[in-house]
Chain A
Amino acid sequence: DTVLTQSPGILSLSPGERATLSCRASQTVANNYLAWYQQKPGQAPRLLIHGASSRAPGIPDRFSGSGSGTDFSLTVSRLEPEDVAVFFCHQYGNAPWTFGQGTKVEIK
């Protein structure tokens, strides 16, 4: 299985700061099929990014994804209080599909 390791585990930043979340895969993710999801407490995950860098419809442009192969990242250019959530990376290029363990983003 493709193991996805996310870092850091917890990210605590002030509003307006830049957040960079990392996702490293144990093997190359085929077709760069890497997605990012945001999950707020008590809610279902919401798709932010697919194909490593394509923003889903309706997602603000302060969310951006980059990377290829085994190293991927999600950047939130200017954190807002509403961004408090757990962010998961997910690879759907290799069978079986797998998720990272999540990065919790907190606002100071």
Chain B
Amino acid sequence: QLQLQESGPGLVKPSETLSLTCTVSGASIFSTIYYWGWVRQPPGKGLEWIGNIYYTGTTYYNPSLKSRATLSVDTSLNQFSLRLDSVTAADTGVYYCVIIPHSINCMDVWGKGTTVTVSS
């Protein structure tokens, strides 16, 4: 059964870097059947796509993040990660990692989400 689990610090100071990891179980990060992504949700608001990454390392990002986001894959740990630089209070919210099957090309399985607060 495909499962995802986000992990990372719940509190980050303004101007610092937010780093989150998503651990994949039930599938290999090398899989050619899936690719991987991140979505976030500010408190009480809607959803925002952050970016996607393939096992090859090819990435696609939302331009709204102005090049602050970096996605990477750690094949030895079967994980993928999100790094977001120069955070502000506007980056506060719940961050979800997602699985995207090539067969349907949209976000299918979601992690439970992890809450990140940007505050000094």
Which residues of A approach B to under 8 Å, CB–CB? 1, 33, 35, 37, 43-47, 50-51, 54, 56, 88, 90, 92, 95-102
Contacts and interface: CB of A to CB of B under 8 A. Distances in A.
Contacts of B111: 44
Contact of B105 (A33, A37, A88, A98): A33
B106 A50 contact: yes
Contacts of B49: 96-99
A100 B46 contact: yes
| Residue from B48, B64, B110 whose CB has the most chain A CB atoms within 10 Å | B110
| Prevailing SS type, chain B contact patch | loop
A102 B46 contact: yes
A101 B46 contact: yes
B64 A45 contact: no
B27 interface: no
A97 B51 CA distance: 9
A88 B41 CA distance: 12
A54 B108 CA distance: 13
